[in-house]
Amino acid sequence: MDVTWGRAAAVLDANWLGSSTVPSRSLYPHQWSWDSAFIALGLRHLSPSRARRELLTLFSAQWRDGRIPHILFNPDTPPEAYFPGPDFWRARRTSGLVQPPVHARAVLAVHETDPDRTFLATLYPKLRAWHEYLRTHRDAGGRGLAAIVHPWESGMDNSPAWDGPLSRVTPSAGFVRRDLQHGAAADRPSDEDYGRYVRLAADYRDSGYQDPGAFVVEDPGFNALFADAELALAAIAEELGLPAAAAAHREAAARVEKAMQETLWDNGFFFARDVRTGVRTREYTCAGLLPLLLPDLAVAPALLATATGPRFRLGRVHGVPSHDLTAPEFDPGRYWRGPSWSNVGWLVRQGLLRHGEHALASRLRDDLVETAARTDFAEYVDPLTGAGHGARSFGWTAALTLDLLAQPAAVA
């Protein structure tokens, strides 16, 4: 443990910029929204003040409408180091997209490790504004779910769940992919997919970032994290002596959970829904397992049966496969089309513990730690062989390894 702990801590030290942490010095040289939340979960065990700084830096980039941009660009990094860079977005050192709302859970965890009511009081109104943006600007389907307007907003960029909605988008051309300078093409999204991502982002930018856009999808992973974030916000409100606000946050979480079950649940799984067509995607991706985070989820037994069945083989493969192992689209090395990611494994473990699946959670924890250490904290891994792919010394892999090592096996 001590050796792995020291190595993971060294990764976070090497990736620290002074006020935030980059996911990877080469491939991702800026601050990413949900990465920073997961990184703070590890930093709190090394330096709670750094964990607080990580989150405060991110929230310093909050837009007036409440959104938290998915990238905060480092002014000391050359603009050409990453594409799309700051000039593309025309948005004052940030992107205009968002990522899943995992921040309230991170803020609460940092406070629990090193209580600081001033920190909570500073971020609570910002978190409320962030959630209100999602509730009021992103309910494109009118069913109480937050819609994403770009695959990058899911955090699971090239998931097969987006293939159908993306097929309507004409790819852009004439750009240089910086990611291929630091990673194998076989591990990354295809050129055609990337062209569609750029087209969607440019169209959204040119519209003045008005929601909804051309790609409008209700993602079960995003919404499960939204509901869980409302539960975390309820706990923060209780800490701040705001019982009425806490009750309102719990009610908001229940509404999202109810809408998910009514809209996205079918035959033992949560599927993404294309708002433009009203059709569920029918792709079994790891996003559909994230509702396990919700402690009162009525369909949890059926969802656990899917998780442990042939499509994901939870507990019998490395981590949590990002896509259905039995599907023709499954690719064990290509980004979000099959590989396992430590953040998804961490989230699913939390869900298992909340539903009393302690033995399975313990096996998953041990595998996540062992695989991270063996692969030099790889960005993602082949779920069948455990081989590392993508960047090494990856921020959230190291951070979540620290968090898993710091927790007793049966503690969520």
Q: State how far Cα 336 lies from the chain centre.
A: 12
* Owner of token pair 């942490």: 21
From 8, 40, 34, select the one nearest 375 (Cα to Cα). 8
Other residues' Cβ atoms within 10 Å of the Cβ of residue 245: 17
- Catalytic residue from among 139, 211, 228, 379: 379
Instruction: Using DSSP, state whether 71 is helix, strand or coil.
Output: strand
What are the C-alpha distances in Å from 325 to residues 156, 314, 331, 337, 389? 17, 11, 9, 10, 18
Contact 349, 365 (CB under 8 A): yes
From 33, 101, 17, 44, select the one nearest 400 (Cα to Cα). 44
379 is known as an active-site residue:
yes
Contact 230, 253 (CB under 8 A): yes
Q: State how far Cα 150 lies from the chain centre.
A: 14
CA distance 399 to 12: 7
CA distance 326 to 342: 21
* Owner of token pair 């055609």: 192
For residue 228, give both structure tokens: 């869980």
The identity of residue 317, as a single letter, is V
Phi, psi of 157 (to 5 degrees): -50, -55
Contact 381, 372 (CB under 8 A): no
- Catalytic residue from among 139, 153, 157, 218: 157
CA distance 396 to 412: 18
CA distance 169 to 203: 10
157 is known as an active-site residue:
yes
CA distance 55 to 20: 8
The catalytic residues are: 157, 379
